[in-house]
Amino acid sequence: MLTRKQHELLSFISDRLGETGVSPSFEEMKEALDLKSKSGVHRLVSALEERNFIRRLPNRARALEVMRLPEGMKSLAPTPRLVTTPPAAPRAPLPVLAAANDVLEIPLHGRIAAGVPIEAIEGQTMLSVPAALLGPGEHYALEVSGDSMVEAGILDGDYALVRRQEQAHEGDIVVALVHEHEATLKYWRHEGGMVRLDPANRAYDPQRYAPNEVRVQGRLAGLLRRY
């Protein structure tokens, strides 16, 4: 049996889903339930999760799925049209709540040079990234070191959000692995039979390699900057 606050929260989430299909934020939940802090919301969400009323989706900070509702509680949904035959089809499962300010956890693989190539990136932690900055595919993050890409708006200390792939189009900004042990962030271009890695800083010269000396590790998908 749910407490009054648990019941109110589940009802609020379910109604918001029926109205917009978008999960309310923790701040909106706090205000709707007249709670003093978001820690109270976290406790209520955890209690509902333990009782299998809701489920947190993996790798998403504020994405929930409503698994079931208590007896007598109805989800807010558009009023169905009146029909006689055939019988109404079974109701589809409740859609997933994905907050507009959803956050994903992606691997952070250390630092990468935006200047002279450095040793290949090592180590791995996780970085929280707004989902809106990422498209489809598998992604990882790298901390930028150097200033050779400043004219492309990529600054020292930025986090490069990289889509993992092994192919690139002419002019893409890529993570290039040179001689299998040095990684750098550059424009990917071809010149004759060579691969040319172009900086975005007039103080640096392009780097030229034979095709078997360099390979693509991913393409730049976005940037994250902390002030």
Residues 220 and 139: their CA atoms lie apart, in Å, by: 10
Residue 205: CB atoms within 10 A of its CB come to 9
Which is catalytic among the residues 11, 14, 23, 148? 148
DSSP annotation string for 117-158: -EEPP---EEEEEEGGG--SS-EEEEEEESSTTGGGT--TT-
Asked if 17 and 78 touch (Cβ cutoff 8 Å), the reply is: no
Token pair belonging to 124: 């791995």
Told to judge if 5 belongs to the known catalytic residues of this protein, a careful annotator would answer no
Which is catalytic among the residues 11, 23, 145, 186? 186
Residues 215 and 198: their CA atoms lie apart, in Å, by: 14
The helix, strand and coil proportions of the chain, stated in percent and rounded to the nearest 5, come to 20, 35, 45
Told to judge if 186 belongs to the known catalytic residues of this protein, a careful annotator would answer yes
Catalytic residues: 148, 186
